[in-house]
Homo-oligomer: A and B are copies of this chain.
Amino acid sequence: MREGIKDECGVFGIFEHAEAASMAYLGLHALQHRGQESAGIVTTDGEQFHSYRGMGLVADVFNEDILSRLKGRTAIGHVRYSTAGSSHLKNAQPVVVSCWRGSLALSHNGNLVNARHLRETLELKGSIFQTTNDSEVILHLIAKTREKDLLDAVIAALGRVSGAYSLLLMSRDNLIGVRDPHGFRPLVLGEKDNSPVLASETSALDLIGGRIVREVEPGEVIFIDREGIRSMFPWGKQRSAFCVFEQIYFARPDSMIYGTSVYEVRKRLGRRLARENPVSADLVIPVPDSGIVAAIGAAEEYGIPFEMGLIRNHYVGRTFIEPRQSIRDFGVKLKLNPVRPIIEGRRVVVVDDSIVRGTTSRKLVRMIRDAGAEEVHLRISSPPIVGPCRYGIDTPTREELIANQKSVEEIRRYVGADSLGYLSVDGMMEAVGTPPGNHCLACFNLEYPVDISHDMPLDH
């Protein structure tokens, strides 16, 4: 749906649990919205590593037989997003390597801004690379570091990387979770049957019947071994730069992210959106599923009914074949269909979470009009996107972002809406509810918290 904004990755790890692989399997299923391209699990039985990775959904990649071969009481897993061209099994994670420290497995969510630089430096020193993952860079750094102790090595290695990472590293005896000093991507600590769990979102804990302990903090390293859990902040404090898009669109509404409920944030975004963009209309409809909660908030604020005026078809397979003589607005129609009797003759407010290139919104507005809407008022529960993400989200180039090329009025005309209202940055931050200065707003205001001048992202 979100043409141009792709979810990134999800990670899950569990330490010393009788059903480590099964828990990883379920945890990844609960994080499936964060990546549908590939899924992988690596376990260790204290001696050997056992790994399996495949293209597709968690439920399709793994079966009873494969899970039973993933022996051991500690596991990490990964789900990866899907892009058209560059999807290769070799880029699936977790990455497993052998080095002088023994076997290591890494699951990584995020994007390093100096990956290319580091990679070139490593190559010049004689390193070879087999994937285009940032993760491989991190593993090289860990293997190269002289520190005897794995924990020290991880800290030293990550001291050299810049950018976004919430990662899990597994050795024969340890599970280490790290969140970068800015905390771009979420990472939560929980437990299940007294075994420590680390996951991208709390929904993974809900499914396995686990308990949230707390969010891993920006710059925090969680070191787990048989003795217990140690926490440290080896790089001192930096200003937080939480990705606000996790709250607007990526994370599941039933997750707690950055200590707040995604659902409640989205509802406040919708309320605030309505307050900032008054309209005289008959009903509010969301673009499902991501726009539902904000639309409920907006409907309450506007004081007009909320209706599911667009029905989403969830049965969309891997690829869909387009008929030769193209059907008008085909791409949108495959997933969404308007409920004509609800829309016909009405002034409709449509709530969506973002506009990227504008092409989908344009088709959507046209489809709603074709269903008989008298007026179509488009409301976006985030500010205009003017910059690409450098910290782990797949966005189009700056040139492709419509808000970078057109004014709001021009966008309104392009998408064909009777009115178009975005949420302001201030309104958004108020809805999000954290003290100012703790979020990354680069895609809205081009203030990139970590310098990107000297590097471009690799695949992640």
Cβ–Cβ contact B317 & A129, under 8 A: no
Given known A129-B98, A292-B308, contact A26–B323 (CB-CB < 8 A): yes
A421 within 8 A of B: no
Cβ–Cβ contact B143 & A209, under 8 A: no
A317, B98: Cα distance in complex, Å = 33
A175, B332: Cα distance in complex, Å = 30
| Contact pattern, A 303-328, Cβ under 8 Å of B = 1, otherwise 0 | 00111100101111111110111011
A108 within 8 A of B: no
Residue of B nearest to A60 (CB): B317
For A296, list chain B residues within 8 Å (CB): 305-308
A311, B120: Cα distance in complex, Å = 44
Task: List residues 105-158 of chain A with CB under 8 A from any CB of chain B.
Answer: 120, 123-124, 126-130, 136, 139-140, 143-145
A145, B123: Cα distance in complex, Å = 11
| Contact pattern, A 201-231, Cβ under 8 Å of B = 1, otherwise 0 | 0010011110000000000000000000000
A26, B328: Cα distance in complex, Å = 13
A297, B207: Cα distance in complex, Å = 30
A418 within 8 A of B: no
Given known A67-B321, A325-B19, contact A333–B207 (CB-CB < 8 A): yes
A293 within 8 A of B: yes
A5 within 8 A of B: no
Cβ–Cβ contact B57 & A315, under 8 A: yes
Cβ–Cβ contact B96 & A123, under 8 A: no
Given known A254-B339, A321-B62, contact A97–B311 (CB-CB < 8 A): no
A305, B264: Cα distance in complex, Å = 14
Residue of B nearest to A19 (CB): B323
Instruction: Pick from B129, B206, B300: contact of A99, CB below 8 A.
Output: B129
| Contact pattern, A 241-265, Cβ under 8 Å of B = 1, otherwise 0 | 0000000000011101000010110
For A67, list chain B residues within 8 Å (CB): 321
A419 within 8 A of B: no
Residue of B nearest to A145 (CB): B126
Cβ–Cβ contact A323 & B22, under 8 A: yes
A136, B99: Cα distance in complex, Å = 13
For A136, list chain B residues within 8 Å (CB): 128
A409, B96: Cα distance in complex, Å = 51
A342, B297: Cα distance in complex, Å = 13
Nearest Cβ on chain B to A53's Cβ, whole angstroms: 9
Cβ–Cβ contact A97 & B129, under 8 A: yes
Instruction: Pick from B100, B140, B337: contact of A123, CB below 8 A.
Output: B100
Given known A253-B339, A296-B306, contact A143–B130 (CB-CB < 8 A): no
A184 within 8 A of B: no
Return 26 A-B CB contacts under 8 Å, by A number.
Answer: A25-B321, A26-B323, A29-B320, A29-B334, A30-B313, A30-B337, A32-B313, A59-B316, A59-B319, A60-B318, A63-B319, A64-B321, A97-B129, A99-B129, A100-B126, A126-B143, A126-B144, A128-B140, A253-B339, A254-B340, A263-B339, A263-B341, A296-B307, A296-B308, A306-B306, A314-B314
Interface residues of A, Cβ cutoff 8 Å to B? 18-19, 22-23, 25-26, 29-30, 32-33, 36, 57-60, 62-64, 67, 89, 95-100, 104, 120, 123-124, 126-130, 136, 139-140, 143-145, 203, 206-209, 252-254, 256, 261, 263-264, 289, 292-293, 296, 300, 305-308, 311, 313-321, 323-325, 327-328, 333-334, 337-342
